[in-house]
Amino acid sequence: MPVTLLMGSLDEAALRAELARWGPYAEELAAIDDATVVRLGTGHWPQFSAPAALARALVEAFAEDAPREDAPA
């Protein structure tokens, strides 16, 4: 299952470095085969500080993971 992590200020390297200090959380992220980290460049509440950027990132994440019409059932 593809996973998209929308981060306010952390990029993927910073997220992984932070989680490495948290033990099991880093293991959970490492166990995901298809993880994409998207840095929004916002603070803790992007729905207030950058709602348009958050909305675009959500739409893009869902569009990437949506089943294609030509995919076998």
Mean pLDDT in residue range 7-36: 89
Q: Is the pLDDT assigned to residue 64 strictly greater than 90?
A: no
pLDDT of residue 13: 94
Give the domain ranges of the chain.
3-65
Contact 26, 20 (CB under 8 A): yes
Q: Is the pLDDT assigned to residue 11 strictly greater than 60?
A: yes
- Taking phi first (over 0 means left), then psi (-120 to 50 degrees means alpha), and beta for anything else, what does residue 37 get? beta
pLDDT of residue 37: 93
Mean pLDDT in residue range 53-58: 95
For residue 47, CA distances in Å to 4, 12, 40 come to 17, 20, 11
Count H helices, E strands: the chain? 4, 2
Q: Is the pLDDT assigned to residue 7 strictly greater than 90?
A: yes
DSSP letter, residue 10: -
d(CA 18, CA 48): 24
Mean pLDDT in residue range 11-39: 89
